[in-house]
Each structure stands twice: as C-alpha cells, then as structure tokens.
Amino acid sequence: QKEVEQNSGPLSVPEGAIASLNCTYSDQGSQSFFWYRQYSGKSPELIMFIYSNGDKEDGRFTAQLNKASQYVSLLIRDSQPSDSATYLCAVTSGGYQKVTFGTGTKLQVIP
C-alpha cells in the first residue's frame, strides 16, 4: 500500500465548476497535510496546508481533513483553465518534517 494515494486522473471539469481532488494516507501519525500545484515542467508550488480536522478556506481553495478516515481533499471553486495542473497531496509525520508525496492528480479545466 502506498503511503499517500491519489487518483492520477486526468480529472476534467468545465470552467466555473467545482473541482474535487482526493487523497488518502496510511500513517495514522501523520500530522501536517499539504496540497501542491505543479505545472508541467515546473516545480511544485504550495497552495494549501492544514493541520486540524475540518475545513480550511483560502480564496477559491478549500482543504478538508478527516483524520479518522485518513482522508484529505482539496476543493477548487469556480475552476479556471489556469488551474489546469497536477495537484500533489503531501503529508508529514514525526518531528523532522519529512514529507511524503502522492503521485498527483492531473486536473484539466475545460473552457
């Protein structure tokens, strides 16, 4: 079992719709959860992080965390073509901030 699992996609949504990206993780001791966006040929860029159960909103982005289910998601409202990228879920465990990444979900926003 992979430590961080994501559906590789592609996930296609029409412009203006809500994109829902999901991630599960295997280590119950995971403490911090991150979403990175990576455009093709570019480096990952942090867009959201969450530590506590519940929702965290930042602009059009909402991260949701459910530690009991070991599940974290990212919602993108009013999706734009510029949101088309690969979204990487990442988690940290332990005190030294080692981050484990999922393989990423490719999102395509169709104009």
Partner 1 sequence: EAGVTQFPSHSVIEKGQTVTLRCDPISGHDNLYWYRRVMGKEIKFLLHFVKESKQDESGMPNNRFLAERTGGTYSTLKVQPAELEDSGVYFCASSQEHYGYTFGSGTRLTVV
Interaction between residue 98 and partner 1 (CB under 8 A): yes
The alpha-carbon radius of gyration of the chain (Å, integer) is 13
Residue selected from 24, 64, 79, 92 as contacting partner 1 according to rule CB under 8 A: 92
Stretch (H or E) spanning 31: strand 30-38
Count of residues near partner 1 by CB under 8 A: 24
Interaction between residue 7 and partner 1 (CB under 8 A): no
> Which DSSP letter does residue 10 get?
-
Interaction between residue 96 and partner 1 (CB under 8 A): yes
Residue selected from 24, 25, 30, 102 as contacting partner 1 according to rule CB under 8 A: 102
Give Cα separations from 38 to 23, 30, 51, 53 (angstroms).
Answer: 16, 23, 22, 25
Give Cα separations from 94 to 21, 54, 97, 98 (angstroms).
Answer: 25, 21, 7, 8
Interface positions, 19-58, toward partner 1 (CB under 8 A): 32, 34, 36, 42-46, 49, 51
- Listed ranges 9-17, 56-64, 67-75, 84-92: which one lies at the site for partner 1 (CB under 8 A): 84-92
